[in-house]
Structure 1
Amino acid sequence: MSTPTAPASGASGRAPSNWNVANGLTVLRIVLVPVFLWLLLRHGGLDTTDRWWAFAVFVVAMMTDRIDGDLARKYGLITDFGKIADPIADKALTGAAFISLSVIGILWWWVTIVVLVREIGITLMRFAIIKYGVMPASKGGKLKTALQALSLALFIAPLQGVFFWIACAVMGAAVVVTVVTGLDYVLAARRLVSEAKAGGGTTGESA
């Protein structure tokens, strides 16, 4: 879910409750992760029907990412919980997809390792600097998520031929953007900490 840097408030001018539909969709995305894994892995990724069901669950889960962001912005439902939980939900879903695709031999392990090292490292850094401010999603982070989601969906679907090479090309772009935005996030985090210590603002960019 994309969120602005300034804290939002509801229509009444008060901070919105964490118990809202946008955050509910974020939690739903987390709940769908084990369902997705079960469908993709239960027959070693060899069953075509299971693969299509896993594809459907993955797509629905990723759609909630767009919907919860739109709802949060439109109705002023942006919360600190959402700012933290949303990227965690994204990483849980995409991380599960990367690992499971490598386990069943569809995706190279080096790709999964590079992506996971970046994602885990950035997530830990987010928590390490949370006392200085919460860093919402950046445009680069949204592009990274979109490329990862598209490439993963293409690999999850039991498609062959030219679709495989399209999936490889999109995945290559996703890996590049993942690494670049990770480096950008480190720089943004350093700025946030420096500004906070100097008594400045707490704006920044996120993964």
Structure 2
Amino acid sequence: MNLPNKLTILRVIMIPFFVLFMLLEGGLNPLYRYIAAAIFIVASFTDWLDGNIARKYGLVTNFGKFMDPLADKLLVCSGLICFTGLGQLSAWIVILIISREFIISGFRLVASDNGVVIAASYWGKLKTVSQMIMSVLLILNIPMLSFVTVIFIWIATALTLISLVDYIVKNYKVLTEGSM
């Protein structure tokens, strides 16, 4: 169990604490929101950190290839579900974002069965960053930043769609060749 994998596991362990502080007192206590924001930011930072350490020191493992993207999806999707439950985010946006994650995961699974690795794309990375910024803005829920928050909701939604189309266009042969 190397350091990047430990950071990934730490991120997964942090998720229930993030959700707990988001939902305590109906999400109305600013102190709990700040704690949730700190947990989310630290968890997001571990995503960046574990990937950089793994690549720099040649510590890329099959466990990390599988668990790192899963941990990211769990973190972001947990936040999205909290935001919907707290009335901060429309359900259709959450459904769109989570559906995209399932579709891409399915593509990667089929590709893996065919011996093909689908790497994260530029659009996928931008999508992740925009979702994390959107999430922090929604967690903090600062009235003066509500316009910026709305802009990031739309940016994250648009990048979700763009990255989905990009993955499908670049990798559609994985599905067609896999069915032959």
- Does the TM-score normalized on the shorter chain lie above 0.5? yes
Q: Which runs of 5+ in 1 are unaligned?
A: 1-18, 199-207
Identity of aligned residues (%): 35
Q: Could you tell me how far apart the structure 2 residues matched to 1:169 and 1:192 are?
A: 34
- Equivalent residue in structure 2 for 1:35, among 17, 22, 26: 17
Determine which structure has more spread, i.e. the larger CA radius of gyration: 1
* Cα offset, 1:110, TM superposition: 1.7
* Cα offset, 1:47, TM superposition: 0.8
Q: Which runs of 5+ in 2 are unaligned?
A: none
Moved over 4 A (4+): 192-198
What is the TM-score with the length of structure 1 in the denominator?
0.80
- Equivalent residue in structure 2 for 1:143, among 122, 126, 129: 126
What is the TM-score with the length of structure 2 in the denominator?
0.92
| Structure 1 segment 70-85 matched on structure 2, within 5 A | 70-85=52-67
Q: Does the aligned pair in 1 maintain the 2:100–2:164 contact within 8 Å?
A: yes
Q: Does the aligned pair in 2 maintain the 1:83–1:134 contact within 8 Å?
A: no
Distance 1:125 1:190, change over 3 A: same
Q: Deviations 1:138-159 (Å, cap 9, x if unpaired)?
A: 2211111000000110010131
Give the residue type in structure 2 aligned to 1:67: L
Give the residue type in structure 1 aligned to 2:97: V
Aligned-residue Cα RMSD (Å) equals 1.9
Structure 1 residue matching 2:9: 3-state secondary structure? helix
**Count of residues paired in the alignment:** 179
* Cα offset, 1:125, TM superposition: 2.8
Whether 1:100 and 2:102 are equivalent positions in the alignment is no
Whether 1:182 and 2:161 are equivalent positions in the alignment is no
Q: Could you tell me how far apart the structure 1 residues matched to 2:124 and 2:153 are?
A: 15
Whether 1:117 and 2:96 are equivalent positions in the alignment is no
Q: Could you tell me how far apart the structure 1 residues matched to 2:63 and 2:178 are?
A: 21
